[in-house]
Chain A
């Protein structure tokens, strides 16, 4: 019981505002507000999904946490420690506790580095691990993400998209971070491979007690993986709550329109309802098909 109550907060964001300068002339220094007063917190071992369409500001939130986007207002705490306002200092502070997995594993892996070099890189720079311990750790990580010793020496171009994303995940968890930010980690993968990666992320979370900030535009994926879902629209979180509550009985108009637009394969309706033949049915609602 006490164990249950002693959940620790890995990430606490309050009033986060991100603004980018807009180049509109020498005297005109407008700023574009990408994220506006966002509050968000993640408990240890929890997955929080940040969903929204392009331009909603979800990636800016992620980038602000790791110091890759400017912090105009608000505060970010990781494991109870307030982060520096300056991007570079923030980056140094968080990299032992926060790691990222990106959408394009092709772009986020160095094409010249082998799989083992890629996975060992954070161990090299962020720990004082001796070389032989590092070798063992790399083997352990390969196994954790479902790769084998035969993949050690391969370069990214010799791997499939799914295998590359496994390498990126192994690199992210190498130093045992408390939070992994996954920015659309399965969007560039084939659907049959996407399912493998989602299952892998779920399994790793259970085994390693990781917390995920899971950024996605795919509500189906979010349903599978996240306990809590926050919906972003035009830089603000318009709705947040337990995933089942948000997706089953959305309260905000925008969440409802997002859900209505998601196309679904409805196999039961497909068998039982001959109307799916949609003879002459124009402008059919995609949520019904």
Chain B
């Protein structure tokens, strides 16, 4: 019965989404407040129905109801509960339902929290959300129904791919979808603004929190996926420029550009056309990712079950939503003119440069990802575009961006003083040079590139710190004043500074772990000792153990530093009988600035075992940096000014709408 309720709920949601899409839009056109006010309740009920459907699906998974085809294909009674639940979105149909749930959730949030928006704008935003929702629900209902039944129902399910039975990967999709779908808010706002014919700083301020939520979630989602790859795949790699990874990175790049561009729009009422374009393209990139992953045009570990028929439906959605949005943009772009001027050296200019490099990076990753597909479609041959290409092209594009970051932060709006900014960053520059010199000195290979990268990391980290210290008035004001400023520092400033600092942390982590990784691959007999990076690792032997739905061969490695026992590492080779596959689990010891990483290999038949031991210096800083960046986003989100929001035209508030310095 539960699956039927779920199915019916989705159908109801479909009808509601169409109504939500059409009625308020018409109401806004006619300035009919009754019709416009239909939006929020419609969004509310659409969300309730979609939530009901989702809950029904989750219940089916938890109860291991194998009469539901999806549950039979993706679950098993012996699977731990948390993976029964995460199995709901570990497949195409369930993840589509999650996507739709999040879409409806954002809709209801706008309905409930967007009371300070002008009613016509809110109505239009919800309408566009509704229309997008209708498209995706139609896709679900007609090509990817999660509630299809099996008759007779099997006694046991096929289980979930063991690779997905993992905490990191269980939560990777929800965060990703919050990000992808979150950008639909910026899209809806942009379309609504284009229809209204008005884009102004108030609009930018309304859009900012939604973009921040999307961007922060996407950052976390990508970081989770990358971290999972690191500890699961067994050789310490964490980014492969796989087409599906790129598909998640593309909206992130545009989202970052959008955050910065919207800032310029908000403060200086310029870059309107570009910001609207970015809002449309960011969600377009999300849709592109959906298409690439679910249509069968790519072969990748990440893709879901491929089906060209589904591909056609998603392609249509892609063309209608993105094409429609861009068409409206092209027709209305003329009316988005005007705004503040700025000098070639100014904060606006720095942010424009930021956008230029981010947009170019986006375009390069896009071209590299789609190129093999394009050539194959034109029957012009098969090529591979892999990590070597992306590393050679993406990294150089990031360097000017990273160098400009602390400089831009120090510039004034409208007309900046480059010399002054450099003077105030003296300490950051000095640190960069010192770090560069030390790195060159300590490195046996004298790698110039690595040393420069570390110099840039220091430049970013010290630069952000200097920014913060200057803001709270250290060395210029009295201690009391500094303390008062510290307590009252605007959250959005704190958020941005944290994120820029985090960027430096990530660059350091990426550089050091890539260049100075130590690898020891050998056959070890029980009792043998290996020395690596000052650690002594002794192989104690292996034994069989059992887990809830797997059996494993577990190796034991005692780790010492000199005489001190540090830890015992227990890597495993697991065998999942239900799914008939095996995984290798690495054992990692981290002290948060380096990782000792041990993997058990195959037996050599003579009592010895192949072992791989890695020392990954500073690799935890990669994830730490990502988390810090997300934290920065969250801090910005809690800024008081975003909650109060810009007032309606008829009222004048004293503090809320005054443009303060960041």
Do A and B come from the same complex?
no
Residues of A within 8 A of B (CB): none
Residues of B within 8 A of A (CB): none
